[in-house]
C-alpha cells in the first residue's frame, strides 16, 4: 500500500473517532460486485465437467462444515476402528514395491496419479532400476521413458534420480527411517514421508491424502482445514493400538465407500457414528 493511502486511511479513522461525519466510501465498481458470482459459475461448471475439480469441491465442502459437528466420544472412536479391524485385520496399500527404496519411488510417482497408473509404470522401471545406483545410472531420460504415462513425469523423473543420488551420497544407499531426513529428499513431503515410515518401517504415522482429508472432515472424526490439522487431529483421537493401520483403513474407506462424489452410506460400516448430514439413501 502506498504511504499516501495509509495516511488517508489514518485521517479517516481520526475523524470518525472525533464524531465527525465519516468519509464516504467510494462506490463499489460494478465489475467487483459481479466477480464472485462469475467465479462461482466457473467453479460450478468445472465441478460438473472435471472429476478432479468435483472431488476438490466435495472435499472443500466437507472441510467447511466438519468442524461444526459434535466431536466423537472415545467409545465411538473405539467402536469405529474395532469395526474396521474386524472387517480387514491386515489392510494393505495398493502400490507395488519390493523394498523401502521402491516404495519411496512409487509414492513419489503417485502424486496426482492413480495407484494403478503408477504400478503400470513402475513394473518396467523397477525391472531396469531396482536400486538407487541403477536409478542414477538410468538417468532422467531413462526414467522418463518408463513413466511418461504419469502426469508431471519430467519433474518426477528428475526427483527420482536426484533422491537416488542423495540416498547413495548421504545414507549409504538406504532409505532413512527418519521423517526429517526423508523430507530433505526432492519430491518428498510430509505425506510421502508418513507413508514410507508407516509401510516400510511400521511406524504409527498417519499420512493424510485427499481421501483421509475428506473422511476425517465428513465424519467429524478429526475435522481440519489443512492436511496437517487433520493429521494431528487423527493422531489425537485414534487410540494407539489402531494407529499402525489407521492410515490404510481410512484411505480404503475413502476410496471405495466414502467416495467424494457419491458416498455409499448404506454400505458404510460406521454410518451410525458418522456426523455427515447428507447421507445417501439405500
Does 207 contact ligand SF4 by CB under 6 A? no
Stretch that binds ligand SF4, among 26-34, 138-146, 190-198, 257-265 (CB under 6 A): 257-265
Does 181 contact ligand SF4 by CB under 6 A? no
Whether 272 is a known active-site residue: answer: no
Instruction: List the one residue from 81, 84, 97, 276 that touches ligand SF4 (CB under 6 A).
Output: 276
241: number of CA atoms within 13 Å, CB side?
A: 8
Contact 163, 108 (CB under 8 A): yes
Contact 112, 164 (CB under 8 A): no
Does 265 contact ligand SF4 by CB under 6 A? yes
Pick 172 or 281: Cβ nearer ligand SF4: 281
Contact 221, 234 (CB under 8 A): yes
Does 163 contact ligand SF4 by CB under 6 A? no
Does 274 contact ligand SF4 by CB under 6 A? yes
Q: What's the CA gap between 46 and 233, in Å, rounded? A: 31
Does 268 contact ligand SF4 by CB under 6 A? yes
Contact 275, 223 (CB under 8 A): no
Whether 209 is a known active-site residue: answer: yes
Instruction: List the one residue from 143, 213, 219, 231 that touches ligand SF4 (CB under 6 A).
Output: 219
- 183 Cβ contact partners less than 8 Å away, ≥ 6 residues apart: 189, 190, 193
Q: If you search the block for the grid coordinates 461448471, which residue do you land on?
A: 45
Does 132 contact ligand SF4 by CB under 6 A? no
Contact positions toward ligand SF4, by CB under 6 A?
218-219, 257-258, 263-265, 268, 270-271, 274, 276, 279
List, by residue number, the catalytic residues: 191, 209
Amino acid at each position: 500500500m502506498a504511504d499516501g493511502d495509509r495516511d488517508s486511511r489514518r485521517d479517516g479513522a481520526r475523524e470518525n473517532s472525533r464524531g465527525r461525519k465519516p468519509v464516504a466510501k467510494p462506490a463499489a465498481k460494478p465489475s467487483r460486485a459481479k466477480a464472485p458470482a462469475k467465479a462461482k459459475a466457473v467453479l460450478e461448471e468445472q465441478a460438473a465437467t472435471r472429476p478432479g475439480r468435483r472431488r476438490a469441491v466435495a472435499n472443500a465442502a466437507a472441510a467447511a462444515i466438519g468442524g461444526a459437528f459434535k466431536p466423537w466420544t472415545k467409545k465411538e472412536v473405539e467402536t469405529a476402528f474395532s469395526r474396521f479391524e474386524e472387517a480387514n485385520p491386515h489392510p494393505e496399500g495398493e502400490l507395488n514395491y519390493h523394498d523401502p527404496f521402491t516404495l519411496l519411488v512409487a509414492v513419489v510417482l503417485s502424486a496426482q496419479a492413480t495407484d494403478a497408473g503408477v504400478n503400470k509404470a513402475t513394473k518396467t522401471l523397477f525391472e531396469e532400476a531396482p536400486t538407487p545406483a541403477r536409478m542414477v545410472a538410468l538417468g532422467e531420460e531413462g526414467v522418463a521413458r518408463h513413466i511418461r504415462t504419469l502426469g508431471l513425469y519430467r519433474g518426477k523423473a528428475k526427483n527420482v534420480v536426484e533422491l537416488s543420488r542423495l540416498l547413495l551420497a548421504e545414507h549409504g544407499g538406504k532409505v532413512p527411517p527418519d521423517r526429517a531426513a526423508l523430507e530433505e529428499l526432492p519430491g518428498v513431503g510430509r505425506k510421502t514421508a508418513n507413508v514410507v515410515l508407516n509401510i516400510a518401517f511400521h511406524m504409527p504415522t498417519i499420512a493424510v491424502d485427499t481421501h483421509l482429508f475428506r473422511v476425517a472432515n465428513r465424519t467429524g472424526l478429526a475435522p481440519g482445514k489443512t492436511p496437517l490439522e487433520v493429521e494431528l487431529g487423527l493422531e489425537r483421537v485414534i487410540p494407539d493400538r489402531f494407529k499402525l493401520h489407521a492410515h490404510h483403513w481410512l484411505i480404503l474407506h475413502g476410496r471405495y465407500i466414502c467416495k467424494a462424489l457419491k458416498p455409499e452410506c448404506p454400505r458404510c460400516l460406521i454410518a451410525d457414528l458418522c456426523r455427515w448430514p447428507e447421507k445417501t439413501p439405500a
